[in-house]
Amino acid sequence: MKRLAFLFALAALASGTAAAESLSRADAVARALQANPDVQKSLEDRRRLDGIILEARADALPELTLYGSWNRYRDPGLLNSSSFDAFPPDLRESLIPVPANLYEGQAALKQTLFSFKLGHAIKAAKFGRSFGEEEIRRVQQAVALRAVRAYDNYLLAIEKVKVGAKAVVQKEKHLEQAQNRYTSGVATELDVLRSKVDLENQRTALLRFQGEAELARGTLNAVMMRPIETPLEPTDHLEYRPVTVDVAQAVHIAWENRPEAKAVALQEKIQNELVGVAKSEGRPSLDFNGAYGWSVREPSNFLDSDFKKWNAGIVLKIPIFDGLRTAGKVAQAESERNKVGQDRLDLENQIRLEAKNAVDVLNVAKSVYEASELNVSQADKALAMTQANYSYGAATLLDVLDAQAALTLAESNRIEALYTHGIARATLRYTMAQDPLEPAATEASEGSPR
């Protein structure tokens, strides 16, 4: 009955998988890139930088403003004049102020003719935009690597379930063999009991593997920003692809292409321009200011040439002494620039370390995989020989159980090695600023890191 229930459970799992949506590794990466909040935020940061460029360019373009106003006023200024009492009485009575309206409309124009600050600000904004592009690329590569890891982790969990199910079938067959031998009088009841315990332990392990597969599926869905319980059917598989690259080559490619390396170089350029902006605060600037319009007491007089009001002028500003405010701003900007230089040195060291670690991990994963391949074939052969000896009474039950456990462990190690090597390849590609998602097998060249 237990075996029948177990088979029904596997059948239910298989039917659920059949109804699942097919998903390739490339699809998982594409969906993660499309929906991931970090990617969307980096795109919004680029839009913000575009706005900063527009703001910086605004100082180089004319600023035109329309003004309109209405005032009602009464001005007793003449009555307060020191010579008002000397006026004749009749004249003083006629000069009593009365309330009046004043309507004004004008267009004001302001244009910067020359400024040391303007060019530095525009250059800094352009470098900032390029910095935003590199940040987008960095985030996209990080999300792609996360998606590849989640996808391969799900493949690993599925393969563990298959290995566990295979081990259960083996132990069921062995239990049946032990029961037949007990019936024939050539095995003890203890042999049958041990086989039953070993089978139940393996079934428990299979349930644990199935739980890990469910968790891995939920993690993959979360990376793609989809409902956690969405059923999936991976179409790709864990596979071994030989890759040959040395540490020096990996470091060189990484430093030439990593978004972080390009971003820190852009940061240095930005800070240099910001130093120029700070220094410009203490340098001369030249502006044009002008206004044209009408000022009337009666609205009907608008557009009458007698009521025109205009002014035009050029303003030269030459800072003489600002209390050392500019010197303080320059010192701050230079300090920020020097800090970026230290960040660049730190990044160089970090990239060298990451590249070396990625190459070392890949080489170790290759060795482990090659050893696991050989071990699986040997463990499978050893189990077949032990089972044959057991059927003829030349091996004990413990020998068979040990051989079964050895094969299960060897197959699990092989799957783990496949997974580790695949993740090591993706990590190395990420470290060298290449797409963590490998090209199709027909496109990948033998022995190339690309």
The 10s digit of each residue's pLDDT in 144-175 is 999 999 999 999 999 999 988 988 988 888 88
Pairing verdict, β 308-317 and 232-234:
unpaired
Q: What is the pLDDT of residues 200-223, one digit of tens each?
A: 998 999 999 999 999 999 999 999
Average pLDDT over the chain, rounded to an integer: 86
The structural domains of the chain, with segments of one domain joined by +, span 237-283+319-450
CATH of 237-283+319-450, one of 1.10.10.10, 3.40.50.620, 1.20.1600.10, 1.10.3720.10: 1.20.1600.10
- Please answer whether residues 106 and 255 qualify as being in contact, where contact means their C-beta atoms are separated by less than 8 angstroms: no
Q: What is the pTM of this model?
A: 0.78
Q: Say if CB 284 and CB 128 are below 8 A apart.
A: no
DSSP string, 100-149: EEEEEEEEEEEEEEEEHHHHHHHHHHHHHHHHHHHHHHHHHHHHHHHHHH
pLDDT for position 32? 93
Among 121-125, 325-329, 404-408, the range scoring the smallest mean pLDDT is 404-408
Q: Give the pLDDT of residue 58.
A: 83
The residues pairing with 108 across neighbouring beta strands, listed in sequence order, are: 65, 291
What confidence score (pLDDT) does residue 85 get? 77
pLDDT of 413 higher than 90: no
The arithmetic mean of pLDDT across residues 378-382, rounded, is: 87
pLDDT of residue 87: 78
339-358 pLDDT, tens digit per residue, is: 999 999 999 999 999 999 99
What DSSP string describes 214-226? HHHHHHHHHHTT-
